[in-house]
Amino acid sequence: MVVALDVGGTGMKCALVRPDGTSVHTERHHTRAERGPAAVVASILDIAEGLADKARADGLTPLAVGVAVPGVVDESTGTAAWSANLGFRDVPLRELVGTRLGLPTALGHDVRVGGIAEARLGAGRDTRHVLFVAIGTGIAAAHVVAGAAAAGAHGAAGELGHIVVRPDGPRCGCGGHGCLEAVASAASVGRRYTTLTGTPATAAEVVSRAADGEEAAGQVWRETIDALADGLAIAQALYDTEVVVLGGGLAEAGTGLLDPLGVALRRRLTFQTEPRLVRAALGDEAGCLGAALLALDRLPVP
Amino acid sequence: MVVALDVGGTGMKCALVRPDGTSVHTERHHTRAERGPAAVVASILDIAEGLADKARADGLTPLAVGVAVPGVVDESTGTAAWSANLGFRDVPLRELVGTRLGLPTALGHDVRVGGIAEARLGAGRDTRHVLFVAIGTGIAAAHVVAGAAAAGAHGAAGELGHIVVRPDGPRCGCGGHGCLEAVASAASVGRRYTTLTGTPATAAEVVSRAADGEEAAGQVWRETIDALADGLAIAQALYDTEVVVLGGGLAEAGTGLLDPLGVALRRRLTFQTEPRLVRAALGDEAGCLGAALLALDRLPVP
């Protein structure tokens, strides 16, 4: 049994997970990031300890802890190096959790562990080369080969959301212009529709209105698909994966996203082999399950 | 002692290489690709056998063979899947060489094995996360982590030359438009200068004229640097490496390439860590040395 926490900007998904990847207990908590990073860290420690205690009270033995956080994460040192949402700057979270609980602890990046979970247990199962792309408030990717996600030299690999696809495009939260995230994230889709029409709408509403034939929504959605296809064509040229697993809020559009995106991607590839595009299978549990898998990886093979 | 061959579109670099990476004998041959793929394969087999015989005649024992070829290479099956220069289509080169010489044989991709050589023995030595970028007739890259190059699911990872950086740019040999290779390869630099001025020139001449203050050459070179910086910024977002090793003909420009490219790349990065840009150390021996390293990797650890 391992303790798993996926700490997001708004909520924490937590679970006690068996070695086979099934959860025996789940909890959700508000992150309340506005309290500042120290308070968020204190909550993480309390919740993790509470989960371990709960396991023991139920006659189970917690063997390890896995924690996933967003931002720039250095898995090798166990440090949450930087996170816009949580205000983290070089927080030695692996050591803090490990010391508090007295258990082997792994720290991972939320999208990379989500990718690990989708690759091992979800939509990428039985596939060696997987690209997991999470399209929500932002856009990030995890390149997973044989069940392991590439972290890069500084914990910042897979930043698909911050490749420039529209040099004259909107300003991005990172300070650049025309990043894929600034054009095609769920947040950007809503924002661009609002700019065009003056009417506030979520990405889901834009997709639905586009399907109903509304012109402005159709235009925003077509531009979104084109930008995403540009990004995926670049990812395929550099990573050459077998399957692209699409997750995050925008993937809720299902075939409304997958079908036109597949057509647009195919049009952009020349000699490259086309990856299969599939929808993520684990929903918003992927990060928590992935944190559990990281923790399980730290245990000796039985 | 291993037998190593780097088969290029115009020439083959061949060597007998010791386990420590030093060559005791080198040979160069013309590929004469115009003879067709079957004749090129026959030459590869003859030359490889000749090298093994030469080793034995000198009292040495050839233990394995490494062959590098351009194009799409499936290292796992040992197949040269596709090569524009050599006309190869699904040539089972590993098996052909292994059967002829009766030795364990490895087949690799020329730029990936070049990257392995630069990462282990050259400019990327002592660095875990290396991106090797070869800028010559074409542009290709190898992402090397801990001395191993990522091949991708279909042997086509690292195709940095075929990411689109100028959607309205010139047609690329791959059938696309505005690929990095179509704008910034050594061949493209010469071609663009010729289009602009009506005067034929090599990339080296363009660089030299730009340094002398010639306006047209300066414009072509600035556009080249900008396109390369766009490509490297994307590679850094997806791979997050520590060092970028620049090889191929265009890297002969030395600081004339590295200095402005470093400035242009820095301007494009926001939160990403800037990789060091360095010039390749092994010159045109990288591919042959890398083929030798692949062969050495197939031997049991002594």
- Residue in A closest to B142 by C-alpha: A238
* Nearest CA-CA distance, residue A101 and chain B, Å: 32
pLDDT > 70: what percent of chain A? Answer: 99
Closest by CA to A278, choosing from A111, A122, A123, A120, is A123
CATH of the structural domain B2-114+284-297, one choice from 3.40.50.300, 3.30.420.40, 2.40.50.1040, 3.30.56.10: 3.30.420.40
Q: Give every residue of chain A whose pLDDT is below 70, as ranges.
A: 301-302
Residues 152-171 of B with CB under 8 A from A: 152-160, 162-164
In tens, the pLDDT along A11-58 reads: 999 999 999 889 999 999 999 999 999 999 999 999 999 999 999 999
ipTM score for this prediction: 0.94
Rg (alpha carbons) of chain A, rounded to whole number: 19
Q: Cβ distance B61 to B1 under 8 Å?
A: yes
pLDDT at A17: 96
In tens, the pLDDT along A194-221 reads: 999 999 999 999 999 999 999 999 999 9
pLDDT at B145: 98
pLDDT at A61: 96
Mean pLDDT estimate for chain B: 95
CATH architecture, range B126-280? 2-Layer Sandwich (3.30)
Q: What is the domain partition of chain A in residue ranges?
A: 2-114+284-297, 126-280
Q: Kindly report the CA angle at A128 between A122 and A130, in degrees rounded to 5?
A: 60
The rounded distance, in Å, linking the Cα atoms of B135 and B115 is: 13
In tens, the pLDDT along B212-245 reads: 999 999 999 999 999 999 999 999 999 999 999 9
The rounded distance, in Å, linking the Cα atoms of A74 and A53 is: 28
pLDDT at B137: 87
Cβ neighbours for A140, distance < 8 A, ≥ 6 positions apart: A111, A133, A134, A158, A159, A160, A161
pLDDT at A302: 58
Cβ contact (<8 Å) for A143 and B238? yes
- Among A156, A238, A239, the residue with its CB nearest the CB of B272 is A156
Over residues B165-188, the mean pLDDT reads 94
Q: Which residue has the tokens 């990405």?
A: A203
What band does B302 get if pLDDT is binned at 50, 70 and 90?
low
- Among B175, B238, B268, the residue with its CB nearest the CB of A157 is B238
Distance, CA of B78 to chain centre: 18
In tens, the pLDDT along B41-97 reads: 999 999 999 999 999 999 999 999 999 999 889 998 999 998 888 999 999 999 999
> Does A2-114+284-297 match A126-280 in CATH topology?
yes
